[in-house]
Amino acid sequence: MADIHVLGGNKVAMHFAVPDENNPAGVPWSVALINSGQGGRTVLLEADGTAGRITAVEKAAIEAGTVFERVVILDLEGVGQTAAGRLAVLQNHHAITLAALTAELLSSLRHFGQVEEARF
């Protein structure tokens, strides 16, 4: 399963594993992602996993919320003229995006799904 899919132009689809844990409200992070509308979708078409496509297994993981997809804009022109150089740039950006995305989702979904009965 690929974590980085370079698309047309400057678009790069990045995949991140979702923790198999619950948020503080007791809701699995995967369920919070799906039910909040922030996860469960991919911009990639399903095929064999090559040439800008993902496999059925990758698509199913995204739809289940166990993998999160984020499309980022990354200028690859003139960066890393060799395949190894481009790979290093992509992997570095993946790590940076993971850190930012983790903080963002932990903040926005921290209490997602908490339900309490009001007592008057």
- The encoded tokens of residue 81 equal 């003229």
Per-residue model confidence (pLDDT) at position 82: 82
Per-residue model confidence (pLDDT) at position 77: 76
Per-residue model confidence (pLDDT) at position 36: 96
User: How are beta strands 53-54 and 45-46 bridged, if at all?
Assistant: parallel
- pLDDT tens sequence across 38-87: 999 999 999 988 888 999 999 999 999 999 999 999 877 776 678 888 88
Q: Distances in Å between the alpha carbon of 89 and those of 8, 17, 35, 72?
A: 17, 20, 33, 13
- pLDDT tens sequence across 5-33: 998 878 999 999 999 999 999 999 999 99
- pLDDT tens sequence across 81-95: 788 888 888 999 999
Per-residue model confidence (pLDDT) at position 116: 84
